Structure 1
C-alpha cells in the first residue's frame, strides 16, 4: 500500500505581491494582461509593450514564476513566465516557497491538472461562469 500525504497548494507555493511605481525606470519592457494568456497553454506567446501601451499595471513578475488568471478560472488561464515584466491585478503571481524543496516540474503539472482547475472554479469569487448563470 502506498502512503499518500495530502498537502495544500499553499504549502508548496506562495503568492508574490511585488509592485512597481515606474515599470520602465525599473527596467521592465513587457506586460501581460489576461488577454495575453491562452486557455490551457502554459507558454506565453504574446504580450504588450509598456512604452507603447502605457498600461496601469504595477504587479511585478519574474522569469520562472507562474501567472494565474484569477478572473473566470473556468477558462484555465495560467502560464510560466519566460521573461520579467508587469501584469494585471487580475493575475496572481505564484512561486515555489523558498523553505520547501519542490521539483520545478511539479508546479506546471499541478496547474495543468483538472483537479486544480475544478478547485479554482469552485473557490473563485466574483461572477459566475456563463454555464452557471440563470
Structure 2
C-alpha cells in the first residue's frame, strides 16, 4: 500500500456523514496505511481524481493549507507530506511507516513556522472602518 505525490483522499467518498476531510499528498507516501478521522479509517479506497464539491465540511484546528510532515516527528520515515485541503475537524492521526502522525507534525503557511497553538491568529489592522 502507499500513496504518491498528487493523490487526493476525500473522506466524503465513503463517509458522507463525516467532517469531510480532504488531503493531498505533496511528497513521500510509500509507507502510508490509513488516516483516522471521525472514527473512520481512510485508505487508498478513498482516493479521488478531484475534490468532490460538498457542503458542510467542518474545519478543525488544521486550516486549509496546513502541511503535515511525517519527518517532523519521525526522521527515519518515508517522508509523507500531506496538505489539508478542507474539513478536518475529526482528524485523529495518520498511520504511516508504523508511526502515528499527529497535529504536532504541522507546518503553517507562514514562512514554514510550526503551528503555534497558544498564539491568536492575526485578524488584520486594528482601527475604525
Please report the TM-score for the alignment, with normalisation by the length of structure 1: 0.26
**Larger Rg belongs to:** 1
- The structure in which a higher percent of residues are strand is 2
- The structure in which a higher percent of residues are helix is 1
Please report the TM-score for the alignment, with normalisation by the length of structure 2: 0.27
